[in-house]
């Protein structure tokens, strides 16, 4: 099979590519008419941008970053389904950044303020963010989604390649194409003659592509069934290459320290002690921090720690409580949005039972298992960068900017990622690696964040607050009015990476609250943007990650006020509004044997959040075990329409839930003297083997629209747990993390 290096040498740096949407399962757009970025040599054929064949076999291009969500496997399965190759026999690579892997049509009308006077870099970033906003918008309204786009186009890529190979075989054998069939990478004639795709590839590349209709789902061999992941063998043998595993001849290793007061300046440093330490090669002034290049990462880190640095103040209130005072104040400011405003929430019917509640969610770090890192080699007229990332073209453009090089002189190699969760959409790690490598031209340098630097220099899930009020008449919710305040991750990212001003209503700030499938006649959700300079970004499920908690905790409080069973109360409001959501609730009720009653010492909670086009319902069971509360069991039901790979979806649902439960129990980023207080896992812990629940997942397929899988498992986990804790203890959990209020198993 073609070596990756060989393909890349021929095809790297053609046009641009965009990957959006964080951990969303397959948030990826493809435009058909773009030039094929794969440049086959003699004896090789790239039948389209996704199928590459040479004498050794078939390589499929899955131009989507693999962060653990299994996208390489499912993407390849879409092509292989129609191409008639076996996944075990093909190679799957991320491929080069290229125009062909990007939907220019979709982007054209997405920019809020398309700029004629902005730089190429700003333009590109603006487009990416425009798309991001649009993608999120589409997902929350349940419209067409990214996977749906890949779902059709990738099967088409496979079908066209297959029929074209058959045509080449027909020409060679003097038969009609219709008389031939295909199986396991071969064209087979009626008399049993077999021609391998590799033997036909060159001839096939010379003829016009032959269109073919897509097969009916009933004929699928691969899709809809669990496939062995294409990355599994490498990941269980230590041979998978993550960004931090890149090794190049003559490579040096670097560590850094950046101002812990985020965005604050550095006024000076004394590196005399560091210079004398073993293995130190170079000390690099990064402007807002210092890096040390050394013989290995640890020696470099020791030296970095020995530098005496004077840091300037943070550009935001230095203590957590002062920050939350600002967020609380924003609740009373003019709203940025009122994306749901049904009926009249200002005059509830006489005799209604009124309830109100206030909620709070903390700032959170992504804490990917692999700390931030990137490797770079700068030669004066060119730059090569290796890193796991969620948007290679934007890394490329930013690095080019820093190095003062044209984009074409910058090559970005996208590796596997030890977790993304939205963190690797940011550009800081490749940017700093570029600055560091520029200090030692010709030498490849790998820059790795310590866990503490990683946790203290994140683009955090914003802290958020909400005020809800509701009214109940005859056991039914007749009114819900919500105000939500937080920093805007979208506005800040637009400003941070592109210098674009905030514009319009921020849907992401209220997603998971304004768009939930409940038929409440008087229903209003308003978003309030709190303008603070703490770096915030896209954390698995983004706005849904706090709004799911707010909204579904309040629904539980409404149910209690109505004297109703919390599951039946929701189902009543949902049944006529969105059948797939109601189906998920019914499924978890059945799976968990929900009766609304629990024995002494056991509590159960339910929640449902509709996000990224997928409703997910969860029931969580907690138990009091001698004064310590353990999360014992969990039941999940989801409906993303067609389930392309049930085993991967099951893993994403479970993993997404555990990510959310970890945050709900222990996750909290707090500030003191302008710096993040948490630095490592002992103070930012997560669920572990003994504390993670036994989990059962059911995948429904009634949704008419395809939804995501990587993120929607996260939002309902937090309210389901909080509601279970209420059921167990009678104490309402209105603020996360819950470990502050409850004695949870650590």
Give the nearest distance from C-beta 729 to ligand FES in angstroms: 32
Q: Which of 309, 338, 591, 686 binds other proteins (CB under 8 A)?
A: 686
The first and second tokens of residue 384, run together, are: 């090569």
Q: Which is nearer to other proteins, 367 or 555 (CB)?
A: 367
The first and second tokens of residue 739, run together, are: 């470990």
State the DSSP string of 61-126. E--S--SSS-HHHHHHHHHHHHHT--GGGSEEE----BGGGS-HHHHHTT-TT--SSS-HHHHHHH
Rounded Cα distance between 573 and 478, Å, is 10
Burial class (CB in 10 A: 0-12, 13-18, 19+), 105: exposed
692 makes contact, choosing from other proteins, ligand FES, none, with CB < 5 to 8 Å by partner type, with other proteins
Whole-number Cα distances in Å, 397 to 113, 125, 426, 593, 681: 20, 9, 13, 54, 33
Q: Tokens 């990064």 — which residue?
A: 286
Give the nearest distance from C-beta 587 to other proteins in angstroms: 19
Task: Check residue 687 for interaction with other proteins (CB under 8 A).
Answer: yes
Q: Among 274, 207, 260, 255, which residue's Cα sits nearest to residue 535?
A: 260
Task: Check residue 451 for interaction with other proteins (CB under 8 A).
Answer: yes
Taking the C-alpha atoms of 403, 404, 405 and 407 in order, what is their torsion angle to the nearest 10 degrees? 90
Task: Check residue 97 for interaction with other proteins (CB under 8 A).
Answer: no
Segment lying near other proteins (by CB under 8 A), choices 121-129, 586-594, 598-606, 650-658? 650-658
Contact string 342-371 vs other proteins (x = CB under 8 A): -------------------------xxxxx
| Contacts for 625 with CB less than 8 Å, ≥ 6 apart | 745
Q: Which of 19, 187, 222, 417 binds other proteins (CB under 8 A)?
A: 417
Give the nearest distance from C-beta 697 to other proteins in angstroms: 10
Task: Check residue 68 for interaction with other proteins (CB under 8 A).
Answer: yes
User: Which region holds residue 475: left if phi is over 0, alpha if psi is between -120 and 50, else beta?
Assistant: left
Task: Check residue 463 for interaction with ligand FES (CB under 6 A).
Answer: no
Q: Which of 299, 447, 472, 664 binds other proteins (CB under 8 A)?
A: 299
Task: Check residue 628 for interaction with other proteins (CB under 8 A).
Answer: no
Q: How many CB atoms lie within 10 A of CB 357?
A: 17
In this structure, the strands spanning 628-639 and 383-387 are unpaired
Q: Which of 39, 104, 172, 245 binds other proteins (CB under 8 A)?
A: 245
Residue nearest to ligand FES (CB): 369
Q: Between residue 266 and residue 325, which ones bind ligand FES under the rule CB under 6 A?
A: none
The first and second tokens of residue 141, run together, are: 């309204």
Give the nearest distance from C-beta 365 to ligand FES in angstroms: 15
Contact between 588 and 637 (Cβ < 8 Å):
yes
Q: Between residue 369 and residue 428, which ones bind ligand FES under the rule CB under 6 A?
A: 369, 419
Segment lying near other proteins (by CB under 8 A), choices 118-126, 239-247, 549-557, 608-616? 239-247
Q: Among 519, 534, 374, 392, which residue's Cα sits nearest to residue 444?
A: 374
Q: Which of 348, 418, 422, 537 binds other proteins (CB under 8 A)?
A: 418
Q: Which of 105, 152, 207, 232 binds other proteins (CB under 8 A)?
A: 232
Q: Which is nearer to other proteins, 292 or 651 (CB)?
A: 651
Q: Which is nearer to ligand FES, 95 or 419 (CB)?
A: 419
The first and second tokens of residue 545, run together, are: 């990650």
The first and second tokens of residue 236, run together, are: 């269980």
Question: At 604, is the secondary structure helix, strand, or coil?
Answer: strand
In this structure, the strands spanning 91-93 and 57-61 are parallel
Give the nearest distance from C-beta 498 to ligand FES in angstroms: 31
Rounded Cα distance between 364 and 43, Å, is 52
The first and second tokens of residue 557, run together, are: 């409080």
Give the nearest distance from C-beta 704 to other proteins in angstroms: 29
Task: Check residue 34 for interaction with other proteins (CB under 8 A).
Answer: no
Task: Check residue 55 for interaction with ligand FES (CB under 6 A).
Answer: no
Task: Check residue 242 for interaction with other proteins (CB under 8 A).
Answer: yes
Task: Check residue 218 for interaction with other proteins (CB under 8 A).
Answer: no
Contact between 710 and 659 (Cβ < 8 Å):
no
How many residues touch ligand FES (CB under 6 A)? 3
Contact between 52 and 568 (Cβ < 8 Å):
no
Rounded Cα distance between 385 and 374, Å, is 7
Q: Which of 37, 68, 348, 463 binds ligand FES (CB under 6 A)?
A: 68
Q: Between residue 342 and residue 371, which ones bind ligand FES under the rule CB under 6 A?
A: 369
Task: Check residue 680 for interaction with other proteins (CB under 8 A).
Answer: yes
Q: Which is nearer to other proteins, 31 or 680 (CB)?
A: 680
Q: Which is nearer to other proteins, 278 or 626 (CB)?
A: 278
237 makes contact, choosing from other proteins, ligand FES, none, with CB < 5 to 8 Å by partner type, with other proteins
Residues contributing to the site for other proteins (CB under 8 A): 67-70, 226, 228-229, 231-242, 244-245, 247, 253, 278-279, 295-299, 367-371, 416-421, 448, 450-451, 647, 651-652, 654-659, 662, 680-682, 686-692, 694-695
Contact footprint for ligand FES (CB under 6 A): 68, 369, 419
């Amino acid at each position: 099979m073609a070596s990756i290096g060989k393909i890349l040498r021929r095809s790297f740096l053609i046009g641009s590519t965009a990957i959006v949407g964080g951990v969303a399962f397959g948030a990826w757009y493809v435009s058909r008419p773009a030039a094929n970025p794969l440049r086959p040599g003699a004896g090789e054929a790239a039948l389209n941008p996704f199928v590459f064949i040479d004498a050794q076999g078939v390589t499929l291009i899955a131009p989507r970053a693999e962060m653990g969500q299994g996208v390489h496997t499912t993407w390849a399965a879409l092509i292989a389904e129609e191409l008639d190759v076996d996944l075990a026999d093909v190679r799957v690579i991320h491929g080069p950044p290229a125009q062909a892997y990007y939907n220019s049509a979709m982007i054209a009308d997405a920019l809020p303020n398309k700029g004629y006077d902005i730089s190429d870099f700003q333009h590109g970033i603006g487009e990416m963010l425009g798309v991001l906003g649009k993608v999120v918008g589409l997902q929350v309204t349940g419209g067409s989604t990214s996977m749906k786009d890949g779902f059709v186009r990738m099967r088409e890529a496979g079908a066209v390649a297959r029929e074209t190979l058959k045509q080449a075989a027909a020409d060679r054998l003097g038969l009609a194409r219709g008389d031939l069939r295909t199986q396991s990478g071969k064209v087979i004639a009626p008399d049993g003659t077999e021609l391998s795709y590799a033997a036909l590839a060159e001839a096939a590349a010379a003829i016009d592509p032959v269109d073919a209709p897509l097969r009916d789902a009933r004929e699928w061999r691969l899709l809809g069934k669990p496939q062995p992941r294409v990355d599994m063998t490498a990941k269980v043998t230590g041979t998978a290459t993550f960004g931090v595993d890149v090794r190049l001849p003559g490579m040096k290793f670097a560590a850094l320290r950046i101002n812990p007061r985020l965005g604050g300046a550095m006024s000076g440093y004394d590196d005399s002690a560091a210079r004398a330490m073993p293995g130190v090669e170079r000390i690099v002034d990064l402007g807002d921090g210092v890096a040390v290049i050394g013989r290995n990462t640890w020696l470099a880190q020791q030296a970095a720690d020995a530098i005496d640095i004077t840091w300037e103040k943070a550009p935001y209130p230095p203590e957590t409580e002062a920050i939350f005072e600002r967020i609380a104040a924003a609740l009373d400011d003019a709203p940025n949005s009122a994306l749901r405003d049904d009926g009249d929430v200002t005059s509830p019917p006489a005799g209604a039972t009124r309830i109100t509640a206030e909620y709070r969610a903390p700032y959170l770090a992504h804490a990917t298992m692999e700390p931030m890192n990137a490797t770079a080699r700068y030669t004066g007229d060119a730059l090569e960068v290796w890193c796991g990332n969620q948007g290679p073209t934007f890394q490329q453009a930013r690095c080019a900017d820093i190095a003062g090089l044209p984009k074409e002189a910058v090559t970005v190699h996208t590796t596997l990622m030890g977790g993304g969760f939205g963190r690797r959409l940011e550009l800081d790690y490749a940017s700093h690696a570029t600055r560091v490598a520029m200090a030692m031209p010709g030498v490849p340098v790998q820059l790795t964040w310590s866990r503490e630097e990683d946790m203290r220099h994140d683009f955090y899930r914003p802290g958020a607050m909400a005020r809800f009020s509701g009214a109940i008449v005859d056991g039914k919710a007749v009114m819900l009015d919500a105000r939500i305040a937080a920093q805007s991750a979208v506005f800040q990212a637009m400003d941070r990476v592109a210098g674009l001003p905030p514009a319009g209503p921020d849907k992401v700030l209220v997603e998971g609250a304004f768009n939930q499938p409940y038929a409440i006649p008087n229903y209003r959700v308003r978003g309030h943007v709190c303008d603070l300079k703490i770096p915030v970004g896209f954390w698995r499920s983004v706005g849904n990650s706090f709004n799911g908690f707010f909204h579904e905790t309040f629904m539980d409080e409404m149910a209690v006020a109505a004297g109703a069973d919390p599951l039946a109360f929701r189902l009543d409001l949902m049944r006529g509004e969105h059948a797939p959501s109601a189906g998920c609730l019914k499924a978890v009720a059945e799976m968990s044997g929900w009766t609304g009653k629990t024995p002494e010492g056991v509590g159960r909670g339910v929640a449902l959040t509709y996000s990224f086009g997928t409703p997910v319902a969860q029931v969580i069971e907690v138990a009091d075990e001698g004064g310590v509360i353990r999360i014992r069991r969990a039941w999940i039901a989801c409906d993303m329409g067609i389930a392309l790979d049930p085993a991967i979806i099951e893993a994403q649902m479970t993993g997404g839930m555990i990510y959310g439960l970890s945050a709900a129990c222990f996750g909290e980023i707090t500030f003191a003297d302008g710096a993040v207080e948490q630095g490592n896992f002992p103070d930012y812990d997560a669920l572990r083997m003994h504390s993670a629940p036994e989990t059962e997942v059911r995948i429904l397929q009634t949704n008419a629209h395809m939804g995501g899988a990587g993120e929607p498992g996260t939002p309902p986990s937090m309210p389901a747990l909080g509601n279970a804790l209420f059921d167990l203890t009678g104490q309402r959990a209105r603020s996360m993390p819950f470990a502050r209020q409850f004695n949870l198993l650590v």
